[in-house]
């Protein structure tokens, strides 16, 4: 008799405690031996994930509970990585929806939940972070029910089981008044409410590729769920490609999951999630099947991208000084390699051989790709993000986003005014007892480009902003994205304290004394609407009355820190962002002449 199996995905809005809850499940399932050092955020193995505290890549693990194998798939909470969610939901038969006890469901909860309900999954709702002060757990459950009804859930899905939890403290409980001890109530709920996988071991083999990995020893590794049949190490199999062609090969290694490790197994049956090597050309959505009776599963459908940027070879005066990979061929090869695993990404050739149009789900989706590439040693330039328009029923349409803001009461007026200028329409507004307001808007995606920095200024850094793709609608009017002009370096050289101090009243700088600059490089934001070029390399003329140490007590105002995300939001249509492993520089396009002084 084979081991009972449950396949479950964990879905939630970003920062609702999903990864912390998975940590607690792993620790209490016996995955780690006594005395073993247990890392925090076990499933977030990627360096960027740990630094940012978000899940970017979908990953899976397996634990045993009451002689049942439970495969747990951790999914990203950010809508920009929805492609990761869509491709793994086909691997599972149920899901755990985690919501914050205070915030309730948020826009990106809606996005992921909608995908789960469309797949027919029946979620188990976990109201997390009940150990925090001033929370309303039952209110969060009511909001979840409202969201289920709004998304068209059937009667069975609306009768969802729910638990209360603290992932940080490591417990779940069925009733608020119960004492929280451990994660056993959640394990029991998974066994009770998640159906066992449907699949017939007697039918011909069908395994769908949902994730790709790579090993220096095994080459490309395919991860997916066996929908039908049995797979054995060493057997002959066929890969049905996206275009219908068939490639035959041998299963060189078959790996199962046990905790965080992959263990070699001789065979696996329908319902199990396994890793397979032997097919070097496999891509996501394709099917590994029986060579005698090849039957492909339906390809994974992923929503189309909504934002596009131009990636091009760096042609600034400082080009090639900091990166290891700088040519158009190297840039093209890297982008094509990204397509193999990033299903929501699209890459097209630009109007010249050194330009590539890269389309993604949002600024964060593309920003993570840029950050990953620069850490790998790539040097290139990117343009301002542009929304992708479509023609639907003969009418030009643009993507709209659902935007949720959590702001202090004094920031409400400023946010409503600016979003109104950006064509945002307010849908809902609630004032909490803690002096904060929750606002909901529907806004064109182009109206959000560059808004985050402005939002932080309006709320003095105390606001929380979340948004997710809603739908394509008819084109709206012009969006007012008013921004001051920029300060541009007048010549190549090194920025001096003397020049920066003299120009301080002209605006806010992005650089510090000692920074190398070149002609056309953006060094700050002007106080006025037009651009202004400055000589920031000018040195102080020393005389008997003016010494080099005479300004030691004078201080410059703090420069604006330009992170990658902030720079992507900031650049204008006639500007580029130069990205290298060591630097991020803003510049005017080469064809743009400098403003006259």
Annotated binding site for GTP: 15-20, 128-131
Q: Which residues contact 155 (CB under 8 A, 6 or more apart)?
A: none
Residues 353 and 92: their CA atoms lie apart, in Å, by 43
For the chain, the first-to-last Cα distance in angstroms comes to: 83
Give the side-chain half-sphere CA count within 13 A for 376: 15
* Three-state SS sequence of 341-387: HCCCCEEEECCCCCEEEEEECCHHHHHHHHHHHHHCCECEEEECCEE
- CB of 588 closer than 8 Å to CB of 594: yes
- Torsion sign, CA atoms 130, 134, 140, 142: positive
Residue positions forming the annotated binding site: 15-20, 128-131
> Which contiguous run of DSSP H or E holds residue 156?
helix 155-158
* Residue 96 β-bridge partners: 10, 124
Query: Of how many residues is the chain composed?
Result: 597
- CB of 474 closer than 8 Å to CB of 396: yes
Q: For tokens 């809902």, name the residue.
A: 428
Q: Which residues contact 123 (CB under 8 A, 6 or more apart)?
A: 11, 94, 95, 96, 97, 113, 116, 157, 160
CA 191-197-198 angle, to 5 degrees, is: 140
Q: For residue 552, count CB atoms less than 10 angstroms from its CB and return exposed for 0-12, middle for 13-18, buried for 19 or more.
A: exposed
**Orientation of helix 412-421 relative to helix 451-458, angle to 10°:** 160
Residues 232 and 238: their CA atoms lie apart, in Å, by 13
Residues 374 and 370: their CA atoms lie apart, in Å, by 6
């Amino acid at each position: 008799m084979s081991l009972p199996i449950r396949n479950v995905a964990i879905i939630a809005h970003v920062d609702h405690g999903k990864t912390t809850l998975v940590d607690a499940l792993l620790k209490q399932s016996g995955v780690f031996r006594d005395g073993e050092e247990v890392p925090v955020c076990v499933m977030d193995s990627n360096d960027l994930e740990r630094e940012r505290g978000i899940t970017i890549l979908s990953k899976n693990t397996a634990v045993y509970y009451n002689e049942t194998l439970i495969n747990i798939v951790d999914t990203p909470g950010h809508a920009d990585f929805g492609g990761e969610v869509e491709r793994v939901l086909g691997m599972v038969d149920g899901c755990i929806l985690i919501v914050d006890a205070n915030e309730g469901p948020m826009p990106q909860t809606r996005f992921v939940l909608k995908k789960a309900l469309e797949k027919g999954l029946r979620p188990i709702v976990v109201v997390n972070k009940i150990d925090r002060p001033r929370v309303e757990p039952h209110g969060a459950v009511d909001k979840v029910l409202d969201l289920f009804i709004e998304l068209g859930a059937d009667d069975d899905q609306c009768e969802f089981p729910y638990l209360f939890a603290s992932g940080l403290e490591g417990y779940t409980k069925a009733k608020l008044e119960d004492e929280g001890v451990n994660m056993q109530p959640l394990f029991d709920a998974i066994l009770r409410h998640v159906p066992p996988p449907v699949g017939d071991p007697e039918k011909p083999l069908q395994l769908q590729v949902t994730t790709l990995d790579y090993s220096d020893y095994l080459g490309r590794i395919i991860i997916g769920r066996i929908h039908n049949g049995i797979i054995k190490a060493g057997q002959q199999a066929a890969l049905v490609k996206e275009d219908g062609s068939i490639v035959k090969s041998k299963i060189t290694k078959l790996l199962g999951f046990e905790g965080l490790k992959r263990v070699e197994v001789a065979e696996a049956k329908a319902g199990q999630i396994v890793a397979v090597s032997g097919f070097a050309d496999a891509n996501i959505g394709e099917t590994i099947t029986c060579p005698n009776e090849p039957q492909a599963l339906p390809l994974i459908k992923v929503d189309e991208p909504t934002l596009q940027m131009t990636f091009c070879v760096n042609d600034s005066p400082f080009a090639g000084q900091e990166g290891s990979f700088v040519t158009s061929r190297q840039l093209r090869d890297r982008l094509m390699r990204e397509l193999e695993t990033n299903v929501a990404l699209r890459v097209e050739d630009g109007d010249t051989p050194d330009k590539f149009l890269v389309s993604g789900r949002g600024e964060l989706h593309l920003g993570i790709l840029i950050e990953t590439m620069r850490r790998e040693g790539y040097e290139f330039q990117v343009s301002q993000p542009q929304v992708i328009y479509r023609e639907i029923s003969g009418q030009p349409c643009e993507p709209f986003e659902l935007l949720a803001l959590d702001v202090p009461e004094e920031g409400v007026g400023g946010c409503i005014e600016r979003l109104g200028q950006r064509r945002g329409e307010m849908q809902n507004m609630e004032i909490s007892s803690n002096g904060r307001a929750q606002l909901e808007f529907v806004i064109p995606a182009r109206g959000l480009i560059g808004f985050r920095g402005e939002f932080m200024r309006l709320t003095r850094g105390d606001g929380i902003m979340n948004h997710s793709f809603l739908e394509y609608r008819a084109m709206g009017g012009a969006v007012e994205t008013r921004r001051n002009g920029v300060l541009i370096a007048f010549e190549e050289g090194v920025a001096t304290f003397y020049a920066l101090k003299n120009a301080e009243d002209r605006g806010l700088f992005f650089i510090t004394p000692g920074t190398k600059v070149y002609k056309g490089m953006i060094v700050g934001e002007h106080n006025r609407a037009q651009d202004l070029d400055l000589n920031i390399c000018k040195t102080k003329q020393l005389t008997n009355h003016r010494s080099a140490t005479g300004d030691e007590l004078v201080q410059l105002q703090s420069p604006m820190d330009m992170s990658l995300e902030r720079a992507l939001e900031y650049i204008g249509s006639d500007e580029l962002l130069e990205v290298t492993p060591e630097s991020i520089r803003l510049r005017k396009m080469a064809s743009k002449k400098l403003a006259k002084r």
